[in-house]
Amino acid sequence: MPAKQLTPEIEAWIEQRWSRFPEGAAGKALTLGVLYQAQEAFGHVDTEVIDLVATRLGLTAAHVRGVATFYTMINPREVGRYHLQVCTNIGCMLEGAYKVFEHCKARLGVENKETTADGNVTLSEVECLAACGYGPVAQIAEKGKPEIPLYFEELDLETVDKILDGLEKGEVPTELGR
Amino acid sequence: MGVFDLKIISKHFDDPQARHLDHYETHGGYRMAKRATTMAPGDIHGEVKTSNLRGRGGAGFPTGVKWGFVPKDAETVYLVVNADESEPGTFKDRHILHWNPHLLIEGMIIASRSLRVHNAYIYIRGEMQREYRILQDALDQAYAKGYLGKRIFGSDVDLDVTICRGLGAYICGEETALLSSLEGGRGWPRLKPPFPAVKGLWGQPTIVNNVETIANLPWILEHGGQAFADVGVGRSGGLRLVSVCGHVERPGVYELPLTVTGNDLIDICGGMREGKAVKAVIPGGVSMPVLTADELDVPFEFDALQNDARIREVETAPGVKFDLGGNRTLRTMAGSGGVVVMDETTDITMAAWRILHFFADESCGQCTPCREGTGWLTQVAHRVAFGHGRAGDVELMASIADGIAGNTICALGDAAAWPTLAFITKFRQEFEDKVKNSLAHSPSAPSGTGAQAAGAS
Ligand SMILES: Cc1cc2nc3c(=O)[nH]c(=O)nc-3n(C[C@H](O)[C@H](O)[C@H](O)COP(=O)(O)O)c2cc1C
Ligand code: SF4
Ligand code: FES
């Protein structure tokens, strides 16, 4: 397999941002942004991606690894095509978020942060998504489709079933989201 | 009540056109940004001081005073907008970003002029992917028009605004952690002092302000600082965005006068759902001490929530007041404006556990009292809530919380300790009954899961 390379989009992004930071600080300042985009391109952030990012930005691999492991949105392992994130924090909990989350677990046959055997859906329990008045809230991200992250609000089990049916068929029921 | 009709920030919420620059300008947008480029920086600062604008991110610190901490001879000053909104119960900044991104950008131009900033940053929460795109579109439009970049509005002022995205870490909302993250590192808070206004981003003076704080600036410039102060009460100017969630008929984001009390707020939200009685209200995000039903006649305003004698003081043990230091005691605070309303059916021990679970998850781990204490607290709160409490658990929770408070680098430690002590002070009987009950029943039941939480709430 040829060695991984940062995509032209990421290269262009780095180019464009570099001058927004003071001399000598740009490489480090771009760590989070490049890591995230690398994850979008490669699916997850493993040692190879960490080395790639470190080399490109002129940083040590230790620094990049330290950053990658600190933030929860960086996945060290492959996630499913769809990443279903259910908020169970206080606002959503008061609206029955745990029922929603347990239902997702049961239907998908996975525990928190696990992926279905067919690699289709990863389920995560997440903290407050800043939509607390409209709970229970879930967010779905689709790999390779940065426009997809959609919020699904005021979820009941019926809507959850429709969403999961959609994901099984390979489509996000965007009409149910906002 | 004319003041209820006034909207400073939320006038165009829910209008999908409002986020486009043309629409924004049709409604008078960017006139104040343009005016700012022709004003002396000190004059803008003067208006902000007069306005009594206080920070909307949590601490309620007077914005004009904070700006005054920037050393006069500073060569490079940075402005950082805190758009990390992640305090559970709080969802108002996302509304601004979603519906009215240009209002934030215009506010940033005004602030940057006053602070002599040429590079400003917006640190937006990673999870807010849609709002990131909306904001980036708005920035691109503003650049295309010459409102950002070199010689903005044809003046001799240069200003670049850059968005930086977080990657999922609540702690990055704390301003010094945010700066560590913006510089490209782990989101580790730093000891204060030095305060960011003196030594912040890359060691330079840096003003960190919340999205809502900055979004008030165009109005302040248009109507004058005095008008803003007059709309407010006492030492707090303006209106406030309040986000309400929980057991009210109509949860949502409301822009309201600071005189509104907890009871008013519930009425404005259409009352309690299903006619149930209110049991508890968190007034400013889950970091803030809870209020009981009989403490809701106090205005949800910064000073009132801290000082009004109708609110009970938080205790570390029955009769022993919690000491905030400097002879001050703790009632509660207006915090982030995130209001959580809980009705009579709510299991308070369950609510307390879920909140603590959050803080334990989000502790950055730098200080032992916070790292160990939040984990331990969560463990004890869990067993109490799920019916395996042990004798002395309530006292144990209080003493762990007391051991965290005031002994950490950043305020996340306090944010976990204060609500714990408040829950115990005000709902002690409920915690003790839970423990008593579990002692009376089988002591060897399996540990609880989320499913049980669902059943109980
Ligand atoms: C644990 C913790 C989390 C915080 N999260 C946020 C946040 O998400 N958004 C925010 O504006 N301020 C947050 N703050 C407050 C900031 O540290 C800072 O006071 C604020 O951004 C200053 O802006 P202001 O003066 O305009 O309020 C947090 C503070 C702490 C201790
Ligand atoms: S108080 Fe907690 S979150 Fe804040 S620096 Fe210390 S360990 Fe980190
Ligand atoms: S508590 Fe679920 S979105 Fe805030």
Q: Would you say residue B454 has pLDDT above 70?
A: no
Average pLDDT over residues B54-58: 96
| Closest in A36, A70, A90 to B88, CB measured | A90
B251:A133 CB<8 A: yes
Give start and end residues of each alpha helix (H) in B232-367.
Answer: 262-268, 302-307, 348-362
Q: Which atom of ligand 3 is nearest to the CA of B90?
A: 4
Mean pLDDT (chain B) is 94
Instruction: Compute the distance from residue B337 Cα to the ligand 3 centre, in Å.
Output: 14
**CA–CA dist B306, B296 (Å, integer):** 13
Distance from CA of B252 to the nearest CA of A (A): 5
Q: Cα angle vertex B179, ends B155, A25, to 5°?
A: 70
pLDDT over 90, % of chain B: 93
Decide whether any atom of ligand 2 lies within 6 Å of the B63 Cβ.
Answer: no
Q: Which CATH superfamily is domain B2-231 in?
A: NADH-ubiquinone oxidoreductase 51kDa subunit (3.40.50.11540)
Tens digits of per-residue pLDDT, B234-252?
999 999 999 999 999 999 9
- Which CATH topology does B348-451 take? de novo design (two linked rop proteins) (1.20.1440)
Mean pLDDT value across residues B372-388:
97
Q: Would you state the pLDDT for residue A116?
A: 97
Q: With a cut of 80, say whether residue A149 has pLDDT above it.
A: no
What's the B31 CA to ligand 3 centre distance in angstroms?
A: 36
In tens, the pLDDT along B3-42 reads: 578 999 999 999 999 999 999 999 999 999 999 999 999 9
**Strand A114-115's sheet: what is its strand order?**
A114-115, A121-126, A82-87, A138-142, A145-152
Report pLDDT for B453. 44
Q: In B331-388, which ranges are continuous DSSP H helix?
A: 348-362, 368-385
- Residues with Cβ within 8 Å of B294's Cβ and at least 6 positions away in sequence, in order, are none
Cα R_g (chain B), whole angstroms: 22
Average pLDDT over residues B70-89: 96
For residue range B258-317, what is the model confidence (pLDDT) as tens digits? Answer: 999 999 999 999 999 999 999 999 999 999 999 999 999 999 999 999 999 999 999 999
Distance CA B406, CA B416 (A): 11
- What is the domain partition of chain B in residue ranges? 2-231, 239-346, 348-451
| pLDDT score at B1 | 43
- Residue among B286, B280, B210 nearest B241 (CA): B210
Report yes or no: A33 and A71 within 8 Å, Cβ to Cβ.
no
| Percent helix, strand and coil across chain B, each to the nearest 5 | 45, 15, 40
Output the pTM of the full model: 0.95
ipTM of this complex prediction, to 2 decimal places: 0.95
Q: How far apart are CA B406 and CA A72, in angstroms?
A: 27
* H/E run at residue A52: helix A47-57
Instruction: Please tell me the predicted confidence (pLDDT) of residue B444.
Output: 52
How far B449 CA sits from the closest chain A CA (Å)? 10
Angle ∠(B183,B184,B185) on CA atoms, nearest 5: 105
Burial class from Cβ neighbours inside 10 Å (0-12, 13-18, 19+) for residue B137 reads middle
Nearest chain A alpha carbon to B286: A90
For residues A94-101, average pLDDT: 97
- Inform me whether the C-beta atom of residue B170 falls under 8 Å from chain A C-beta atoms: yes
Partner residue facing A102 (CB), from B183, B253, B451: B451
Q: Is B160 on the interface with A (CB under 8 A)?
A: yes
| A146 vs B414, residue with greater confidence | B414
Mean pLDDT over B138-144 rounds to 98
Q: Given this chain, do its domains B2-231 and B348-451 carry the same CATH topology?
A: no
Q: pLDDT digit string (tens) for A1-58?
A: 567 899 999 999 999 999 999 999 999 999 999 999 999 888 899 999 999 999 999 9
Q: Which residues of B207-224 are buried (b: 16+ CB within 10 A; e: fewer)?
A: bbbbbbbbbbbbbbbebe
- The total of other beta-carbon atoms located within 10 Å of residue B265's CB is 21
B371 in contact with ligand 2, CB cutoff 6 A? yes
pLDDT at site B410: 96
CA dist B129 and A147 (Å) reads 8
Percent of chain B whose pLDDT exceeds 70: 96
* Cross-chain Cβ contact B89/A91 below 8 Å: yes
CB burial of residue A120 (10 Å; 0-12, 13-18, 19+)? middle
A-B CB pairs within 8 A amount to 155
Query: Chain B residues with CB inside 8 Å of A132's CB?
Result: 88-91, 243, 245, 251, 338, 340
- By C-alpha distance, which of B109, B111, B115 is closest to B143? B109
- Report strand pairing: A82-87 vs B291-292: unpaired
Class of domain B239-346: alpha beta
Give the pLDDT band of residue A144 (cuts 50, 70, 90).
Answer: confident
A12 touches chain B (CB under 8 A): no
Per the CB < 8 Å rule, is A32 touching B160? no
**How far does B402 lie from chain A, in Å, by closest CA?**
23
Q: Are B425 and B314 in contact (CB under 8 A)?
A: yes
Per residue in B306-324, pLDDT (tens digit) is 999 999 999 999 999 999 8
Q: Does B336 touch chain A (CB under 8 A)?
A: no
B-chain residues within 8 Å CB-CB of A32?
164-167, 181, 184
In this predicted structure, the answer to whether residue B456 has a pLDDT above a threshold of 50 is: no
